[in-house]
């Protein structure tokens, strides 16, 4: 199976709506019609391969139910590449070490590692459960000590993932392996509703998993933003530190597929906490990306970085045109990747989830900016060697059942913790 196999392309009417409405390309009618026909036939589409940012918006404009032009474009883009850059593998949870998540988790304190071990155990049956993905685990101490989230049991084994990075960086097989691994563990959960700490996890579990991969989780899904809004709307949370700034809302690319039921709570929460919001020219169903996925279409790292920066520059221009220099983001990736360039444009990036938890009384002892400094350190250390590799057509398979990693935890460090480990193979520096 591949990305494009999720749709029956014989049903395509070649109307061109998907590409005419693209916020980046805005093709004319005839060009759009011919381009989608070429993509379906498996032929080259140079303009798409050069300009598409893989933002998902085209999926919303296709009039035929079940067709996903984004996945067709991604499949053809990957087919046009001679190989997948070796550095992509470094970001995929489950690949043989070194991988960035293993590097970062291994550097945690014994107390933080103990929290990750606790989150690796199947919790007792509950109505709701908080799922913490790859990025959220870096904030495990604050999440574990959160008074807002204290009522939620937590689950987030370090070797499980929603599959976003594998999917978006172009390895269908790695995505499938990752998903099967996670589904196997999720089958042991006895819950009614899974609260996703990360919006990306919510999108991939609620949208990509059923609509592309063809499987559905046996419980309800909700994002943490939606869960927080439920609490605020019921007056179950008390505002302790009002937000006093004005910021432009920069939504993640998947928001266009999640729709108002996701993006409205983002705005309501910020406004309820005291922040003043401005809208970008492109938002909602017409939003533009932070540029990260623009890197996928290039095989060369330098060219990939400049492709990303080109899109980020557009975003910064829209922020300033809205009348502010502050950008509020709901996605960890939209915080991380622009953090390489925002200072050059005088833009301050605010991570909405962190701001909201603090506003309603939580303490943030390890902010996202600190987590990403650690990530950047490891990227700087690993990347030069990875760039020397020519790349590969296929990445190693991710084991679905057996344990993968160990994070250097020793029982004598904290004897009160049960150190039964789901992860066994040794990580090497």
pLDDT, one tens digit per residue, over 108-157 is: 999 999 999 999 999 999 999 999 999 999 999 999 999 999 999 999 99
* Section 300-314 average pLDDT: 86
Contacts of 336 (CB under 8 A, 6+ apart): 372, 375
What confidence tier does 165 reach under pLDDT thresholds 50, 70, 90? very high
What token pair was written down for 108?
A: 């945690």
Residue 373 lies in a domain: no
99 in a domain, yes or no?
yes
Question: The domain that contains 250 carries what CATH number?
Answer: 3.40.50.1860
Same domain, 111 and 216: yes
In a domain, 375, yes or no: no
Reply yes or no on whether the pLDDT at 205 is more than 90: yes
pLDDT beyond 70 at 427: no
Q: For residue 293, name the pLDDT band (cuts at 50, 70, 90).
A: confident
- Pair 252, 356 in one domain: yes
Residues 226, 349, single domain; the answer is no
Q: Does 296 score more than 90 pLDDT?
A: no
Per-residue confidence (pLDDT) for residue 419, from 0 to 100: 30
- Stretch 343-351: mean pLDDT, rounded? 96
Please report the pLDDT score of residue 406 as a whole number: 57
Residue 194 β-bridge partners: 129, 221
Whether residues 248 and 205 share a domain: the answer is no
- The DSSP output letter for 204 is I
* Cα-based angle 214, 215, 221 (whole degrees, multiple of 5): 125
Domain annotation covers residue 107: yes
Pick the last residue of a domain from 80, 99, 114.
80
Q: Does residue 65 fall inside a structural domain?
A: yes
What tens digit of pLDDT does each residue of 403-421 get?
665 554 444 443 343 333 3
Kindly provide the b/e burial profile for residues 211-243, where b requires at least 16 CB atoms within 10 angstroms of the residue's own CB: bbbeeebeeebbbbbbbbbeebeeeebeeeeeb
Domain co-membership, 277 together with 218: no
State the number of CA atoms in the 13 A half-sphere of 297 facing the CB.
23
What's residue 311's pLDDT?
Answer: 92
Instruction: Tell whether 270 and 334 lie within a shared domain.
Output: yes
d(CA 259, CA 285): 7
pLDDT, residue 421, reads 30
Domain count of the fold of the chain: 3
**pLDDT, average across residues 160-164:** 95
pLDDT tens-digit map of 58-113: 999 999 999 999 999 999 988 887 777 888 889 998 888 889 999 999 999 999 99
Q: Could you list the residue range(s) of the whole structural domain that residue 147 is in?
A: 83-234+397-429
Residue 274 lies in a domain: yes
pLDDT at 83: 77
The helix or strand, by DSSP H or E, that contains position 253, with its residue range, turns out to be none
Q: Is residue 376 part of a domain?
A: no
The pLDDT value recorded for residue 298 is: 66
DSSP string, 378-395: HHHHHHHHHHTS--BSSP
């Amino acid at each position: 199976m591949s990305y494009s196999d999720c749709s029956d392309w014989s049903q395509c009417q070649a109307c061109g709506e998907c590409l005419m409405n693209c916020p980046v390309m805005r093709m004319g009618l005839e060009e759009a019609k011919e381009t989608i026909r070429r993509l379906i036939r498996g032929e080259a589409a140079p303009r798409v391969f050069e300009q598409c940012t893989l933002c998902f918006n085209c999926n919303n404009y296709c009039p035929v139910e079940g067709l996903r032009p984004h996945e067709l474009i991604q499949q053809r883009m990957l087919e046009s590449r001679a190989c997948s850059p070796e550095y992509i593998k470094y970001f995929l949870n489950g690949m043989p070490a070194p991988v960035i998540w293993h590097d970062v988790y291994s550097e945690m304190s014994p107390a933080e590692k103990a929290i990750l071990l606790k989150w690796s155990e199947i919790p007792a049956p509950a109505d709701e459960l908080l799922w913490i993905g790859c990025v959220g685990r870096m904030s495990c101490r604050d999440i574990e000590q959160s008074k807002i989230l204290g009522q939620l049991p937590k689950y987030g084994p370090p070797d499980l993932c929603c599959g976003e990075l594998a999917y978006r960086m172009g390895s269908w097989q790695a995505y499938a392996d990752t998903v099967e691994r996670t589904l196997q563990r999720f089958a042991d959960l006895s819950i009614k509703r899974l609260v996703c700490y990360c919006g990306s996890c919510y999108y991939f579990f609620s949208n990509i998993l059923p609509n592309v991969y063809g499987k559905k989780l046996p419980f309800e899904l909700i994002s943490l933003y939606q869960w927080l809004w439920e609490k605020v709307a019921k007056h179950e949370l008390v505002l302790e530190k009002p937000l006093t700034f004005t910021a432009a809302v920069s939504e993640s690319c998947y928001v266009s597929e999640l729709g108002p039921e996701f993006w409205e709570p983002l705005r309501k929460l910020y406004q309820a906490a005291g922040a003043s919001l401005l809208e970008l020219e492109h938002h909602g169903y017409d939003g533009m990306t932070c540029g990260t996925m623009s890197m996928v279409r290039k095989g060369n790292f330098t060219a990939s970085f400049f492709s990303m920066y080109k899109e980020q520059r557009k975003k910064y221009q829209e922020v300033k045109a809205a009348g502010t220099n502050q950008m509020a983001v709901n996605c960890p990736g939209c915080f991380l990747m622009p953090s390489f360039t925002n200072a050059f444009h005088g833009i301050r990036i605010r991570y909405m989830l962190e701001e909201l938890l603090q506003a309603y009384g939580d303490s943030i002892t390890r902010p996202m900016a600190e987590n990403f400094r650690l990530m950047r350190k490891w990227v700087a250390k690993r990347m030069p060697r990875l760039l020397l590799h020519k790349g590969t057509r296929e990445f190693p398979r991710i084991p679905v059942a057996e344990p993968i990693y160990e994070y250097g935890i020793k029982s004598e460090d904290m004897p009160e913790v049960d150190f039964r480990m789901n992860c066994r193979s040794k990580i090497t520096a």
